[in-house]
Amino acid sequence: MDSYSFCPICASNNSKKLWSASCSEQASHFLSPLQDRKKYEILKEHITYLQKSPYISIKKCLDCDFIYSFPYCAGDKKFYDLIFSKTNKYPQERWEFEKSIEIIRKSRYENPKILEIGSGDGAFLKKLIHNNLTLKSCITSIEYSEYGKAKIKSLGINCLSIDIKENKDKLPYKKYDFVCLFQVLEHLDSVNELISIFKSLLSNKGEILIAVPNEKIIDFNESNWALLDMPPNHIGRWSKYSFEKLCEFNKLNLIKNDIESFSLLKFLLMFFSYRFLRKSQDNSSIAALIKYRINKNLVWILTRLFIIADFLLSPTIVLKIFVFGKSLGGESQLSRISIKN
């Protein structure tokens, strides 16, 4: 038991530490010093500045099941500018997009007002338009990246770069029928404050649609030497029970929590690719040699040969995936939340 921190969701101090990492380890997770030593040092210093600590701990609340970083500190614009390119590619197809489209379609709203927080390059918004689910004028997007904003505005959609905690009054509508966050909540701190704001923005029968990574997949990855879920990128990890407690605390109703279906091929490709990436974080490893020191023309083929070899040399892990994979589910989970009647 660890009594030095309080859960950001339920304020309990009943927690256990899962693992910890130094700021050097955090920085090398996102950017190898072999790739760009100067940028790596800047990133390491900035992570230390954000966290006000030379290391991070990952803790699990034993009362509400929420897994969180301590210090509980989100990455800022400078952090993301350092780890991502200005034209970072966003996934255009996601399971939660299709699920949410179906939910909105079945709601039978006529031109529902929809707010999306963290829209990327507008992939979900394009689907709303393509499916004729609402008018462009009824959609509001909040996005910070210059690349994303330009893409969204080119669709004819109102895109704002505001801190919703301080500038809620700048939204074009006082109430929305759907507030959507897809792969965003795990990046944010002040979660209860944000959920309270989203609640205040909901129409009478409105819903908050929140997609986050499936915590069972993350746990399996971390337990089997694949990528860690590293702060300050992801600082919160959610289960159905932690969403239930979040809703209970904020007097909301969890309508449903769905988990994406398991795909064996997709999971194997993801898992062994993540194993390669984690091994490449060791600067003296063969994986690091392939990723950062070999002629670029050979990287693609050598990376795949490494992944195939790792697969063939890991029969115990492969057996676990075949036996227990279906019970893990897919990469994402989607929670539907409404105001309690």
- For residues 49 and 52, give the distance between their C-alpha atoms in angstroms, rounded to a whole number: 5
pLDDT at 96 over 80: yes
- For residues 282 and 276, give the distance between their C-alpha atoms in angstroms, rounded to a whole number: 11
- For residues 323 and 332, give the distance between their C-alpha atoms in angstroms, rounded to a whole number: 20
At 6 the three-state DSSP class reads coil
Amino acid 106 reads: K
Residue 274's pLDDT is 97
- For residues 64 and 68, give the distance between their C-alpha atoms in angstroms, rounded to a whole number: 11
Distances (CA, A) of 274 to 29, 218, 227, 255: 11, 11, 5, 33
- Residue 274, by phi and psi: left (phi above 0), alpha (psi -120 to 50) or beta? alpha
- Give the CA count within 13 Å in the CB-facing half-sphere of 111: 4
Residue 340's pLDDT is 85
- Residue 52, by phi and psi: left (phi above 0), alpha (psi -120 to 50) or beta? left
Q: Percent of the chain beyond pLDDT 70?
A: 98
Average pLDDT over residues 8-37: 95
Q: Do residues 105 and 209 lie in contact, with contact meaning Cβ atoms separated by under 8 Å?
A: no
Which H helix or E strand runs over 319?
helix 315-328
pLDDT at 2 over 60: no
Residue 309: count of CB within 10 angstroms of its CB: 12
- Residue 156, by phi and psi: left (phi above 0), alpha (psi -120 to 50) or beta? left
Q: Measured on CA atoms in the order 53, 288, 145, 195, is the torsion positive or negative?
A: negative
Over residues 279-315, the pLDDT tens digits come to 999 999 999 999 998 988 899 999 999 999 999 999 9
- For residues 97 and 281, give the distance between their C-alpha atoms in angstroms, rounded to a whole number: 32
- For residues 150 and 159, give the distance between their C-alpha atoms in angstroms, rounded to a whole number: 9
Average pLDDT, the chain: 94
Q: Where are the beta strands (DSSP E) in the chain?
A: 15-22, 55-61, 67-70, 114-117, 139-142, 158-160, 176-182, 202-213, 236-237, 252-259, 332-339
- For residues 108 and 114, give the distance between their C-alpha atoms in angstroms, rounded to a whole number: 14
Over residues 310-335, the pLDDT tens digits come to 999 999 999 999 999 999 999 999 99
**pLDDT band, very low/low/confident/very high, at 86 (cuts 50, 70, 90):** low
Average pLDDT over residues 176-205: 96
Over residues 133-169, the pLDDT tens digits come to 999 999 999 999 888 999 999 999 999 999 999 999 9
pLDDT at 195 over 80: yes
- For residues 332 and 308, give the distance between their C-alpha atoms in angstroms, rounded to a whole number: 25
Q: How far is CA 27 from the centre of its chain?
A: 18
Residue ranges of domains in the chain, CATH in brackets: 95-226+245-261+330-339 (3.40.50.150), 264-327 (no CATH)
- Give the CA count within 13 Å in the CB-facing half-sphere of 171: 28
Average pLDDT over residues 60-85: 94
Distances (CA, A) of 21 to 29, 65, 70, 130, 296: 10, 21, 11, 44, 30
